[in-house]
Structure 1
Amino acid sequence: MTTELLSALGDPKRVAVLGALCAAPGAHTVAGIGARAGLSERDVQRALAVLGGAGLIRRDDAGLSADLGPIRAAAADGAASTPVGRVAADFPRLDGCLKNGRIATIPADGGLKAELGRLVMAALPRRDAYTERELTTELKALGDEPVALRRLLVDLRLVERAADGSRYWPGP
Structure 2
Amino acid sequence: MTTELLSALGDRKRLAVLGALCATGPAAAHTVADLGDRTGLSERDVQRALAVLGGAGLVRRDETGLSAGLEPIRTAAAAGSASTPVGRVAADFPRLDGCLKNGRIATIPADDRLKDELGRLVMAALPRRDSYTEKELTAELHELGDESVALRRLLVDFGYLDRDADGSRYWPAT
For the aligned pair, the TM-score class normalised by the smaller chain equals over 0.9
What is the alpha-carbon root mean square deviation over aligned residues?
0.5
1:67 is aligned to 2:69: yes
Determine the C-alpha separation between the residues in 1 that align with 2:75 and 2:63.
26
Q: Tell me the percent identity.
A: 80
Determine the C-alpha separation between the residues in 1 that align with 2:155 and 2:30.
53
Deviation at 1:27, TM superposition (A): 2.3
Deviation at 1:157, TM superposition (A): 1.1
Deviation at 1:38, TM superposition (A): 1.1
Identify the residue that residue 39 of structure 1 maps to in structure 2. 41
1:110 is aligned to 2:151: no
Identify the residue that residue 22 of structure 1 maps to in structure 2. 22
Deviation digits for residues 21-43 of structure 1, max 9, x if unmatched?
A: 00112220001001111100000
Identify the residue that residue 78 of structure 1 maps to in structure 2. 80
Determine the C-alpha separation between the residues in 1 that align with 2:165 and 2:114.
28
Determine the C-alpha separation between the residues in 1 that align with 2:127 and 2:41.
50
Determine the C-alpha separation between the residues in 1 that align with 2:29 and 2:157.
56
Identify the residue that residue 141 of structure 2 maps to in structure 1. 139
* TM-score, reference length from structure 1: 0.99
151, 154, 170: which one aligns with 1:152? 154
5+ long unaligned stretches in structure 1: none
Once the two structures are superposed, the pairs formed by residues 1-16 of structure 1 within 5 Å of their partners are: 1-16=1-16
* TM-score, reference length from structure 2: 0.98
Deviation digits for residues 124-172 of structure 1, max 9, x if unmatched?
A: 0000000000000000000010000000000011001111111000011
Identify the residue that residue 121 of structure 1 maps to in structure 2. 123
One-letter amino acid of the counterpart of residue 19, structure 1: G
Equivalent pairs, count: 172
Q: Which stretches of structure 1, 4 residues or more, deviate above 3 A after TM superposition?
A: none
Deviation digits for residues 67-113 of structure 1, max 9, x if unmatched?
A: 00100110011000000000000000100110110001111111111
Deviation digits for residues 112-131 of structure 1, max 9, x if unmatched?
A: 11000000000000000000
Secondary structure at the aligned position of 2:87 is classed as: helix
Determine the C-alpha separation between the residues in 2 that align with 1:51 and 1:130.
47
Determine the C-alpha separation between the residues in 2 that align with 1:71 and 1:38.
25
Secondary structure at the aligned position of 1:108 is classed as: coil
Deviation at 1:3, TM superposition (A): 0.5
